[in-house]
Amino acid sequence: MLSSNPDFVPRIGTVLEVLSILGIFVFAASGALAAARLRQTIVTFAFFALVTGVGGGTVRDLLIGSPVFWVHDAAPAITCMVAALLVWITPRSFWSDHALDWLDAVGLAAFAVFGAAKALNFGVPPFVAGMMGVVTGCVGGIMRDLLAGEPSILLRPELYVTAAAVSSGSFVLLRWWGIDVPVASVIAALLGFVLRALAIRRGLGLPVYRGIRPE
Amino acid sequence: MLSSNPDFVPRIGTVLEVLSILGIFVFAASGALAAARLRQTIVTFAFFALVTGVGGGTVRDLLIGSPVFWVHDAAPAITCMVAALLVWITPRSFWSDHALDWLDAVGLAAFAVFGAAKALNFGVPPFVAGMMGVVTGCVGGIMRDLLAGEPSILLRPELYVTAAAVSSGSFVLLRWWGIDVPVASVIAALLGFVLRALAIRRGLGLPVYRGIRPE
Amino acid sequence: MLSSNPDFVPRIGTVLEVLSILGIFVFAASGALAAARLRQTIVTFAFFALVTGVGGGTVRDLLIGSPVFWVHDAAPAITCMVAALLVWITPRSFWSDHALDWLDAVGLAAFAVFGAAKALNFGVPPFVAGMMGVVTGCVGGIMRDLLAGEPSILLRPELYVTAAAVSSGSFVLLRWWGIDVPVASVIAALLGFVLRALAIRRGLGLPVYRGIRPE
């Protein structure tokens, strides 16, 4: 029903492309940082950076049937290598203990918006496009945590998937209301980021399920 | 050689579609239940339900080169959301400690049959179509356990992959013998489910490898 | 720029096909061996063998947009089944404690070369084709370790991803220098294997990151 609005489907514009490169860079850096915590080598830094940086977008592209964005264009892969090198050569003091969380928060918001936009662009129904943003935003971080053998960021007490859902869902809604792509992108990304920031700083969370005692 | 039978390739019919929706629903519920055990929020319930509910079919579709079934049709995703909500709002007593195992068993049998049928439909050789059913049936549960950080259901002592192989393999064989799709589907799904039920209730298992001592 | 050489793009030839089947066989055996360490059944052996044996090539094919190689041709899947059966029936003494490492090393080198070659064949830019070899070579082992719940081979102190990068990168370079596919394949695979062998035997590693103390 939402697609009755003729101007609803966004074209990928400058703001979205900046969001995408930004998301790749910060997720890649968060991947390299996870490798740093594990005292790995520069090559493993690069591998973690690549998987974390392009993992979310790769799954999105496979799901919506688009050619995988980084395979025929070397720019995203090079972005990941630069992020890995930067984490490798910068002094330790440059990266606080919570740097991973903050980079992840930026990537989450940026990818959630970009994922929803690209899915809408491919004719995916709005409800599913919103989910596509969530899956896209969360998959990079999940892969990083799986590779690193760390407890998944999904399972921390503060809200995480919810922030992606807010960015992704609000982008779809703003587009439905006829808001321009650049404005909708920035508002939606900020909403998700602020929510995740509150979660990181103040432990903000949704009510958790209390019906079943953990075993 | 098997494809010489002109009537061999099944058309996806009513019984198979019911099996598919049933499989999605019960796997989604098992995903939500895993989120419940981890005391997560409603949004994480929905994420776990989505990944578990459509994960197996997604991998099958990517492997056989079909468009991913839930991306251009919102019904499966909505089914997952309904399952998540149901687990969230129903009282604890509604879900026994073993509910996860039983839901998983139904989903395993249903997906194994549906996966094999869809693969045959796409012209995949019978031997590989049987494997496709196994992979499809097992991937949802594996993803759920990986996300939840739980020991994989694959590694429990009772048989699991075997039940999927029985459903999937017997469907391919029954079709080869010329049995109609609805009858073959129901028989094959029941065979796998009964085997898995025996595994859950009586610890039924195949002989395990004894040549190498665990480290 | 590298593609200006008209003879640069390799055709998949005999040597590469042998490397591919060898890689599938040894990775499948390493998967079955992981199942053996977990005292699993023959069916789980087969599942682990399949996922480990074809996992890397599957991800490569999905990324470059090729039909998944083992879905319409039963030979690779049968190779995996044979490997699983062989591990199941051979006496324990046949497989030393480090057999997994050595099989994995052969598979890593073979898949890294084959992955890079197939990617070049599909018109992927050389820089990305090199990465495709790395991802392809490493994904089978990663999936095996994730399924088995073992610490990822990625995170061991000796170099691992680096060996894949050397095989994959040197193949791309050798092809760029105009070396024939069979010669380039063998040299590149040997370089990576020797490096990984030194890592296994002597603990060879690159310098690790020391800027951040592990938590």
Interface probe, candidates B212, B213, B215, chain C, greatest C C-beta count within 10 A: B212
Question: What is d(CA C56, CA C136) in angstroms, rounded to the nearest whole number?
Answer: 4
Q: What count of CB pairs under 8 Å joins A to C? A: 88
Chain A residues with beta carbon closer than 8 angstroms to that of C146:
146
Q: What subunits touch chain A, counting only 3 or more CB pairs under 8 A?
A: B, C
Question: What is d(CA C28, CA B17) in angstroms, rounded to the nearest whole number?
Answer: 34
* Residue whose tokens read 């069916």: C43
Stretch B1-26: mean pLDDT, rounded?
Answer: 65
The pLDDT score that the predictor gives to residue C13 is: 67
The nearest alpha carbon in chain C to A73 belongs to C125
Asked if C32 contacts C84 with a C-beta cutoff of 8 angstroms, the reply is: yes
The pLDDT score that the predictor gives to residue A12 is: 55
Chain A residues with beta carbon closer than 8 angstroms to that of C63:
58, 68, 71
- Parse chain A into domains and list their residue ranges: 7-202
Task: Using alpha carbons, select from C155, C160, C205, C142 the residue that is nearest to residue A38.
Answer: C155
Closest-CA distance of chain B to residue A32, Å = 21
Question: What is d(CA C171, CA C179) in angstroms, rounded to the nearest whole number?
Answer: 9
DSSP codes joined into one string, C43-88: HHHHHHHHHHHHHHHHHHHHHHTPPPTTTS-SHHHHHHHHHHHHHH
Chain C residues with beta carbon closer than 8 angstroms to that of A70:
128
The pLDDT score that the predictor gives to residue C201 is: 85
Q: How confident is the model at residue C7 (pLDDT cuts 50, 70, 90)?
A: very low
Question: What is d(CA B139, CA C122) in angstroms, rounded to the nearest whole number?
Answer: 29
Stretch C157-173: mean pLDDT, rounded?
Answer: 90
Question: What is d(CA B171, CA B156) in angstroms, rounded to the nearest whole number?
Answer: 25
Name which of B46, B62, B147 is nearest A154 (Cβ-Cβ).
B147
Task: Using alpha carbons, select from C80, B39, A141, C199 the residue that is nearest to residue C70.
Answer: C80
Tally Cβ neighbours within 10 Å of residue C150.
15
The pLDDT score that the predictor gives to residue A177 is: 93
Closest-CA distance of chain A to residue B59, Å = 10
Give the burial class of B56: count Cβ atoms within 10 A of its Cβ; 0-12 exposed, 13-18 middle, 19 or more buried: buried
What type of residue sits at position B181?
V
Question: What is d(CA A42, CA A48) in angstroms, rounded to the nearest whole number?
Answer: 10
Name which of B46, B72, B97 is nearest A124 (Cβ-Cβ).
B72
pLDDT in tens, B161-196: 889 999 999 999 999 999 998 899 999 999 999 999
The pLDDT score that the predictor gives to residue C213 is: 45
Contact B74 A127 (CB under 8 A): yes
Q: What is the CA radius of gyration of chain B?
A: 17
The pLDDT score that the predictor gives to residue A175 is: 94
What type of residue sits at position B106?
V
The pLDDT score that the predictor gives to residue C92 is: 65
Interface probe, candidates B47, B64, B68, chain A, greatest A C-beta count within 10 A: B47
Residues of chain B above pLDDT 70, percent: 87
- CA distances to A79, B69, C106 from C132, rounded to whole Å, are 16, 27, 18
pLDDT in tens, B89-128: 987 667 776 777 888 888 899 999 999 999 999 999 999 9
* Terminal alpha carbon distance of chain C: 44
Stretch C180-194: mean pLDDT, rounded?
Answer: 93
Give the burial class of C185: count Cβ atoms within 10 A of its Cβ; 0-12 exposed, 13-18 middle, 19 or more buried: buried
Question: What is d(CA C107, CA A141) in angstroms, rounded to the nearest whole number?
Answer: 28
The pLDDT score that the predictor gives to residue C55 is: 94
Q: Give me the helix-helix angle, B75-89 and A126-148, nearest 10°.
A: 70
Q: Is the pLDDT of residue C165 over 70?
A: yes
Q: What's the mean pLDDT when you consider all of chain B? A: 85
Name which of C46, C47, C92 is nearest B212 (Cβ-Cβ).
C92
Question: What is d(CA B211, CA C37) in angstroms, rounded to the nearest whole number?
Answer: 9
Q: What is the 8-class DSSP label of residue B95? A: S
The pLDDT score that the predictor gives to residue A1 is: 39
The pLDDT score that the predictor gives to residue B97 is: 61
Pick from A201-215, C59-73, C75-89, C105-119: least confident: A201-215
pLDDT in tens, C120-164: 999 999 999 999 999 899 998 899 988 888 888 777 767 888 899
* Terminal alpha carbon distance of chain B: 44
Q: Is the pLDDT of residue C117 over 90?
A: yes
Question: What is d(CA B105, CA B109) in angstroms, rounded to the nearest whole number?
Answer: 6
Question: What is d(CA A108, CA B57) in angstroms, rounded to the nearest whole number?
Answer: 26
Q: Is the pLDDT of residue C22 over 60?
A: yes
Tally Cβ neighbours within 10 Å of residue A1.
8
Stretch C79-102: mean pLDDT, rounded?
Answer: 82
Q: Is A97 helix (H, G, I), strand (E, B) or coil?
A: coil
| Token reading at B111 | 């997906």
Question: What is d(CA C48, CA C40) in angstroms, rounded to the nearest whole number?
Answer: 10
For chain A, list residues whose CB is within 8 angstroms of any CB belonging to chain C: 33, 35-47, 50-51, 58, 62, 67-68, 70-74, 77-78, 88, 90-92, 95, 97, 146-149
* Residue whose tokens read 């995988």: A68
Mean per-residue pLDDT pooled into runs of 10, chain A (215 residues): 44 71 90 87 90 94 94 91 92 70 86 94 92 91 88 78 93 94 93 92 73 48
